[in-house]
Each structure stands twice: as structure tokens, then as C-alpha cells.
């Protein structure tokens, strides 16, 4: 949505400055690391063009990754533009001042959802977890269900990757036992290295997938269920069996069998999986401890309240029903705006008047309003802030290890090129030379593969900690007042005449609408949460209601304002203009003078009955004594 500037700030500061600084420092170091190979290209072109191309490719890769991290970190440190229209409304906003802005919003609720939550004293944000893994995680951490969706989803993702790792290690242990004890026959010595390689690929993919944080996580809870667990078990069971069948089939081929026998007699190094497994276990334990402690600190602040304040009564007032709704919208709720920002209107003011005849009928109407959400950051503990900082720092350090490994591989690439050149220099290599060349190349490849897997493991866990800690940095909380009014009743019209005396010439005739009102007012002080981001849509993501608190003082203040409006209304028309009052006095004086003048014979016949009675009394003869 557009950046709607206002002179009064909403008080929302950039929450990503520290994270952006650490990311920018990593990007700067990687960029400097990538510049060194590029500077060596000019010298290497004259000596070895192949090695020069390798140095150039690695240098460009490091420089591109470093500049990307540096740019992203600096971008996170830039000014956090927050307009007067943020955050996103809870439901579709019908406020006239926000017509254009409301078109770009994607609220999480509908007005009917908010009505159900207020009426039913329930919170539809807290949905039930689906799936075995999801239920297991929410059972171990009961208050997890009361956290926002992104935090619940990252907990489920981490638990799924952890379960996948445990099951895969159990499967690897069983396979290793079968191979090392000779139960697998001649294929045991070959099956174990292949399964070790496959195990590392599976673990890297599992943790890389777990490190991904989708923006769709703001709208729904992901399912970590039986299907996910079935995939894990299928890999653990089928992978060793399928590998064993493939290797048995290949060994039946004579040429392949002879080659394998020759390689077994050579000094080949097997794929060392133990260091990588220790890395996975170490980083998973480190990441799990940080994430678990962060979630525990966050759940300690949970107050899963679904309380509201309610008022029901019956009023007998001389008021048109439409005036009541207009007063609540334009005066009562407008006086409760936050920093003069228009309220969010989720149910439009549209009273339905059903006129049954010219002087009576019934009516019904409702309105739902939320005041502008005020930024209310959670009071996190010092431990939470330290853990969040440590998680971000650990993420950047792990992501920094990968470029250094890639930089170190330049020396290994030079060594492999030297081995290939030495073998190519032999004009007629014998079997011993070929065997020695294959063994040297294979052993060097094994070492490079181990380094690559170490790099991928560090990158996966660094990316995981970076994305997960970013989620904890991004949470923003707001406080607002949500009010729902529903009013029904009947009305009748009557005529009220005042000031009509015998001699008065000024009177007031008014048509009064007598209404029987049955209002139902429900209000709640809600705490909502959203997750910010860097860029144009920084605070424009869906907002969820986490807490609903009763507010009897605010409810009473609203009722006092309504009652004050009803009691101060004027039913009888009054003259407030000074000129009109002067004219009325002149007319009154003229009437007084007219009544004081003597009657002519013609006027006497038109005298009032009282005057005739007085006159007849005065003409009677006096009584005899």
C-alpha cells in the first residue's frame, strides 16, 4: 500500500538494525575474500589458463555472495518507513478515508469472524494442529498453540527435521551393523560408503528444507503429519535395500567385479562420514537449544485471554434510531481515535428502518469499529534479547565458514590439476601408473566431497538460524479497542405542542420520535501481532488477534457519552436567535396593548365568554337590602 505520511509518528522503529549490521559485516568479509582470487587471475593467465578460470569463477562467486549479503544487511539498516495506514486491518475496512488503502490489504479475518469471537468469547486464531509431528510438538510445548503462526510453523519444521535426522541415523546404524558383521555378503564393503554418501545428501536436504521460512506461514498452520513421517521411514527402510540390489546387480558384471576387486586391493580411502555426522549432531543441538529457549521465553509472555465487556439494556428515549448510530460513529468512537487516525470500520453503519405505517415501525442496525492499533512492544527479558542476538551471530558465523571452505578448495583444485598433468605427461602409462593415478584422484575427491558436505551443513544450519532468528526480530505487537454494537427496537411518532395559551401568539409544535431501544454493546481491548519485513511492505502483512481483555472502565465511559448525548437532546423547539427573541417580545407587547384598549360596540359582540360574563354581572341591579 502507499506510504501515507503523517506528522505524528506511530513509534514503530526499525527492528532489524542489529541483524542488518551483522549481516553487512559478513558480506564485507566475504567480498574481501572474493577480491583476492580475482587479483591473482592476471598472474595466473600467463602460467595456467585453466587454473586462472577456476580462480576467476570462485572469486566471482564469493564476490557476488558477499555483495548480496552486504547489500541485504545495509538495506535492513536503512530507514523504516511507516505510514499512518499500517498495520493491516483485521477484516475488510469500509472507512471512507481508507478506500484506496483497503484495496491492497489482505486481512486474515472477516467481520463475521470478529463477531463470532466477541459473541462467543473465543479466539479463532488458535487452530488445532494437524498431523502426528504437529501434535507431538504442541504436546511437548503446550503454550505453543497460543503463539503466532510463523513461530508455530518454525517449531514444527525444526521438529520434523530433527525426527528425520534421528530416524535416518537409526537406519544408518542398522545398515552399518549389517555390512560390518558380514550379513550383507560381499556387497557390505561397497554398500556402506554409498549409503553414507546418500545419508549425507538426505540430511543436508532435510535441514535445508527446514531452514526455509515461507510468507504463507503467516496465514495458516503447516501440517507435519503421517505423510511426512512415512517419507522418513520409507527412506530408512528402502534406501539400504535398493542400494544393495543395485550393487549386487553391478557386481554380477565381470568387468565391474574385476575393477572393484582391484580397487579393494589398492590404498583407497573410504568416505569418512563420521565428522559430518558429528557436525550435524552438534549444530542441530546448538540450534535446537537456542530455538527452544527462545520459544520458552516467548511463551512465558502468553496471556491467552478471551474476555470481553458486555452491556445490554432497554432504553425509552425521544430520539430517532438513526441519530443513535450516527452519534456513536461520529462522536463516541471518534473521540477515542489514536493520534487522530481514523478508526477501522469493519461493519458499516447502515440502520434498517422498517416503517409499518406513517407514525410507527421497527428498526435494526449494527456497527463494528476498531480504533487505530497502537504499537505496544512486548517486554522481553534480557535473556531473550541475548539469545536472539547469539542466534543471529551464530548464523552469520556459520554462513561465513562456507566461503572460507570454498576459498580453501582453490588449493585442492590446483593439486588435482597437478595430478592430472603429471599423469598426462607419461606417454605410455602402465597398469601401476594408472592404478596410482586413480587412487590419488579418488582419495583427493573423497577429501573434497567431505569439505563440500561440511560447507553445505554449515550453510544449512546458518541459513536456518538466520531465518528463525529473523522471525523473532520481526514480531510486532499492537493494542487496540474493538467495539461491536447491535441495536433493535420500535419507534412511534407523536405530536408535541407547547406554549399555546389563550392569548399567546407564539407556540411550538414538534413531531417527536419515541423509540424503544434494546442495545447490545460488546467491547474488548485486543492485542494483535504481525511480522515486519524490510522493504516496501514492511508492516503490511496479516495481523492476528492473540489476546482479548475485558475493559469495564472503557465500556462505562462509552455508555456515559451515549447517555450524555441522550439526556442533553432538546425535544421542544427553542428560540436561540437574539433577533427572534426581540421580535417575540414586540409581538407580546402589542398583544398586551391590544387587550388593554376599550371595546367598541362592534368588538363587544365578539368578546370572549369570560368578558360577556363579567359584563352581565356588572349590568345587574344591586340587590335589595
Q: How far apart are CA 295 and CA 285, in angstroms?
A: 15
Q: How many alpha carbons fall within 13 Å on the CB side of residue 476?
A: 26
Model confidence at 615, pLDDT cuts 50, 70, 90, reads very low
Task: Specify the range with the lowest mean pLDDT, choosing from 10-19, 114-123, 193-202, 354-363.
Answer: 354-363
- Whether 288 shows a pLDDT value over 70: the answer reads yes
Q: What is the pLDDT of residues 549-588, one digit of tens each?
A: 999 999 999 998 888 887 776 666 566 667 766 766 776 6
pLDDT at 510: 59
- Whether 190 shows a pLDDT value over 70: the answer reads no
Average pLDDT, the chain: 80
Q: How far apart are CA 134 and CA 137, in angstroms?
A: 5
130 and 137 Cβ atoms separated by less than 8 Å: no
Which cell is 302 given?
A: 502468553
Q: How far apart are CA 480 and CA 368, in angstroms?
A: 13
pLDDT at 389: 95
Q: How far apart are CA 469 and CA 151, in angstroms?
A: 10
- Cell match 460488546: residue? 522
Compute the average pLDDT of residues 275-288: 90
Which cell is 38 given?
A: 580475482
Within 8 A by CB and 6+ apart from 541, the residues are 88, 215, 218, 530, 531, 532, 533
SS (H, E, C) 496-528: EEECCCCCCCCCEEEEEEEEEEEEEEEEEEEEE
Largest Cα–Cα separation, the chain: 177
- Whether 345 shows a pLDDT value over 60: the answer reads yes
Model confidence at 334, pLDDT cuts 50, 70, 90, reads confident
Angle made by CA atoms 393, 399, 404, in degrees to the nearest 5: 120
pLDDT at 623: 46
pLDDT at 256: 55
Q: What is the DSSP letter of 246?
A: H
Other C-beta atoms closer than 10 Å to the C-beta of 309 total 19
Q: Is 619 helix (H, G, I), strand (E, B) or coil?
A: helix
- Whether 478 shows a pLDDT value over 90: the answer reads yes
- Whether 480 shows a pLDDT value over 90: the answer reads yes
- Cell match 450524555: residue? 564
Q: What is the pLDDT of residues 147-172, one digit of tens each?
A: 999 999 999 889 888 988 888 888 77
Q: Which position has the higher pLDDT, 263 or 534?
A: 534
Q: How far apart are CA 132 and CA 228, in angstroms?
A: 9
Q: What is the pLDDT of residues 86-119, one digit of tens each?
A: 889 999 988 887 877 878 888 889 999 999 999 9
Task: Specify the range with the lowest mean pLDDT, choosing from 65-69, 297-301, 433-437, 555-559.
Answer: 433-437
Kind of pairing between the strands at 360-370 and 309-312: unpaired
Indicate the burial class of 374 (C-beta count within 10 angstroms; 0-12, 13-18, 19 or more).
middle
Task: Specify the range with the lowest mean pLDDT, choosing from 190-204, 243-257, 594-608.
Answer: 594-608
Most confident of 39-43, 334-338, 481-485: 481-485
- Whether 366 shows a pLDDT value over 50: the answer reads yes
Task: Specify the range with the lowest mean pLDDT, choosing from 141-150, 211-220, 344-353, 516-525.
Answer: 211-220
Q: How far apart are CA 177 and CA 183, in angstroms?
A: 8
pLDDT at 64: 93
pLDDT at 541: 87
pLDDT at 29: 95
Task: Specify the range with the lowest mean pLDDT, choosing from 4-18, 247-261, 282-296.
Answer: 247-261
pLDDT at 625: 39
All structural domains of the chain with their residue ranges? 127-261
- Whether 620 shows a pLDDT value over 80: the answer reads no
Q: Which position has the higher pLDDT, 515 or 427?
A: 515
Q: Which position has the higher pLDDT, 491 or 467?
A: 467
Q: Is 618 helix (H, G, I), strand (E, B) or coil?
A: helix
- As beta bridge partners, residue 512 has 494
Model confidence at 613, pLDDT cuts 50, 70, 90, reads very low
pLDDT at 578: 73
Model confidence at 283, pLDDT cuts 50, 70, 90, reads very high
| Centroid of chain to Cα 460 | 25
Model confidence at 524, pLDDT cuts 50, 70, 90, reads very high
End-to-end Cα, the chain, rounded Å: 106
Q: How far apart are CA 99 and CA 288, in angstroms?
A: 45
- Whether 511 shows a pLDDT value over 70: the answer reads no
Amino acid at each position: 500500500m502507499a506510504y501515507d505520511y503523517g506528522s505524528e509518528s506511530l513509534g514503530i522503529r526499525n527492528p532489524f538494525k542489529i541483524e542488518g549490521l551483522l549481516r553487512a559485516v559478513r558480506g564485507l568479509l566475504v567480498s574481501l575474500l572474493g577480491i583476492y582470487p580475482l587479483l591473482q587471475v592476471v598472474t595466473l593467465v600467463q602460467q595456467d589458463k585453466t587454473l586462472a578460470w577456476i580462480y576467476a569463477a570462485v572469486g566471482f562467486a564469493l564476490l557476488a555472495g558477499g555483495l548480496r549479503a552486504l547489500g541485504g544487511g545495509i538495506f535492513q539498516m536503512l530507514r523504516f518507513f511507516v505510514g499512518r495506514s499500517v498495520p493491516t486491518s483485521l477484516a475488510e475496512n469500509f472507512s471512507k478515508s481508507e478506500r484506496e488503502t483497503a484495496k491492497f490489504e489482505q486481512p486474515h479475518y472477516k467481520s463475521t469472524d470478529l463477531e463470532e469471537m466477541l459473541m462467543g468469547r473465543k479466539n479463532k486464531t488458535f487452530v488445532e494442529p494437524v498431523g502426528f509431528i504437529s501434535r507431538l510438538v504442541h504436546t511437548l510445548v503446550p503454550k505453543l498453540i497460543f503463539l503466532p503462526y510463523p513461530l508455530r510453523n518454525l517449531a514444527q519444521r525444526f521438529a520434523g527435521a530433527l525426527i528425520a535426522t534421528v530416524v535416518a541415523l537409526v537406519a544408518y546404524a542398522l545398515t552399518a551393523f549389517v555390512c560390518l558383521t558380514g550379513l550383507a555378503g560381499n556387497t557390505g564393503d561397497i554398500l556402506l560408503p554409498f549409503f553414507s554418501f546418500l545419508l549425507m545428501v538426505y540430511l543436508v536436504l532435510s535441514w535445508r528444507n527446514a531452514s526455509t521460512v515461507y510468507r504463507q506461514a503467516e496465514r495458516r498452520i503447516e501440517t507435519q503429519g503421517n505423510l511426512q513421517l512415512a517419507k522418513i521411514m520409507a527412506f530408512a527402510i528402502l534406501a539400504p535395500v535398493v542400494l544393495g540390489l543395485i550393487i549386487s546387480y553391478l557386481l554380477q558384471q565381470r568387468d565391474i567385479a574385476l575393477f572393484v576387486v582391484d580397487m579393494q586391493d589398492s590404498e583407497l580411502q573410504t568416505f569418512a562420514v563420521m565428522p559430518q555426522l558429528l557436525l550435524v549432531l552438534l549444530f542441530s543441538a546448538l540450534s535446537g537449544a537456542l530455538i527452544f529457549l527462545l520459544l520458552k521465553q516467548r511463551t512465558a509472555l502468553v496471556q491467552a485471554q478471551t474476555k470481553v465487556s458486555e452491556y445490554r439494556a432497554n432504553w425509552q428515549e425521544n430520539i430517532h434510531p438513526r441519530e443513535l448510530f450516527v452519534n456513536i460513529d461520529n462522536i463516541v468512537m471518534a473521540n477515542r481515535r489514536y493520534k487522530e487516525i481514523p478508526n477501522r470500520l469493519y461493519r458499516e453503519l447502515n440502520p434498517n428502518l422498517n416503517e409499518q405505517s406513517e407514525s410507527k415501525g421497527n428498526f435494526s442496525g449494527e456497527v463494528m469499529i476498531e480504533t487505530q492499533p497502537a504499537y505496544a512492544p512486548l517486554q522481553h527479558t534480557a535473556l531473550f534479547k541475548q539469545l536472539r542476538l547469539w542466534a543471529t551471530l551464530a548464523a552469520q558465523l556459520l554462513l561465513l565458514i562456507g566461503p572460507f571452505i570454498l576459498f580453501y578448495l582453490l588449493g585442492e583444485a590446483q593439486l588435482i590439476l597437478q595430478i592430472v598433468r603429471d599423469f598426462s605427461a607419461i606417454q605410455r602409462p602402465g597398469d601401476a601408473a594408472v592404478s596410482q593415478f586413480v587412487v590419488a584422484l579418488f582419495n583427493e575427491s573423497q577429501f573434497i566431497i567431505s569439505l563440500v558436505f561440511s560447507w553445505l551443513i554449515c550453510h544449512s544450519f546458518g541459513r536456518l538460524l538466520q531465518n528463525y532468528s529473523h522471525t523473532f526480530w520481526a514480531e510486532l505487537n499492537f493494542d487496540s479497542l474493538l467495539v461491536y454494537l447491535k441495536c433493535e427496537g420500535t419507534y412511534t411518532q407523536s405530536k408535541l405542542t407547547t406554549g399555546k395559551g389563550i392569548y399567546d401568539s407564539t407556540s411550538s409544535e414538534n413531531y417527536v420520535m419515541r423509540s424503544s431501544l434494546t442495545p447490545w454493546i460488546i467491547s474488548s481491548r485486543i492485542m494483535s501481532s504481525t511480522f515486519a519485513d524490510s522493504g516496501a511492505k514492511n508492516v503490511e502483512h496479516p495481523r492476528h488477534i492473540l489476546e482479548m481483555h475485558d475493559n469495564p472502565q472503557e465500556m462505562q465511559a462509552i455508555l456515559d457519552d451515549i447517555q450524555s448525548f441522550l439526556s442533553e437532546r432538546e425535544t421542544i423547539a427553542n428560540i436561540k436567535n437574539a433577533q427572534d427573541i426581540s421580535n417575540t417580545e414586540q409581538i407580546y407587547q402589542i398583544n398586551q396593548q391590544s387587550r388593554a384598549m376599550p371595546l367598541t360596540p362592534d368588538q363587544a359582540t365578539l368578546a370572549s365568554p369570560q368578558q360577556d360574563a363579567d359584563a352581565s354581572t356588572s349590568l345587574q341591579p344591586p340587590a335589595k337590602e
